[in-house]
Amino acid sequence: MEQKTQTKDYKHIVRVGGTDIDGSKQLLYALRKIKGVGYIMGNAICTVTNIDKHKLAGYLTDEEIEQINEVLKEPAKFGIPTWVMNRRFDPETGEDAHLFGADIDFVIDSDIKRMRKIKSYKGFRHGKGLPVRGQRTRSNFRKNKGKALGVQRRKGRK
């Protein structure tokens, strides 16, 4: 395998999607370091851009990096199906999108704020720090409720 020898074209760190990626990893696995990109989305990106998914990320050219960034920004334009995307039918715009990087944190926070504002059940549970999706609370989730106080002695007695 001639890719093991590092030439002048090799980059140890590659900047893709606003994230630094290790150049010594295969592209499919290196793309997973971008927040919001998993195995299936990484595979779809490699397929759409016609880049070998087993190619080391350090050997990507600037044109290939630009192609990957374009596909990340608008995956539907390149024929990636909606079931691969992580934000289907956005409540505000009604469109399918794929979020990555810091956008994910911002959108999750705004969704939780919206649920609390409309006083939905999930909003109440988020506000109280309780499990939202129907899990038990009897023996679990004690760490989120605050520190439990044990039996305390009255002062002055031994």
Each residue's pLDDT tens digit, 47-98: 999 999 999 988 988 999 999 999 998 888 888 898 988 888 888 888 888 8
Angle between helices 39-49 and 62-73 (to 10 degrees): 120
Each residue's pLDDT tens digit, 19-53: 899 889 999 999 999 998 999 999 999 999 999 99
Instruction: Using alpha carbons, select from 29, 45, 36, 30 the residue that is nearest to residue 81.
Output: 45
> If pLDDT is split at 50, 70 and 90, which confidence band does 136 have?
confident
- Please check the confidence at residue 18 and state whether its pLDDT lies above 70: yes
Give pTM, 2 decimals: 0.71
Q: Where are the beta strands (DSSP E) in 40-104?
A: none
Domains, the chain, with CATH or none: 7-84 (1.10.8.50), 101-144 (4.10.910.10)
CA angle 136, 139, 145 (to 5 degrees): 85
pLDDT the model gives residue 146 = 61
Give dist(CA 74, CA 51) in Å, integer: 18
Each residue's pLDDT tens digit, 122-134: 999 998 888 888 8
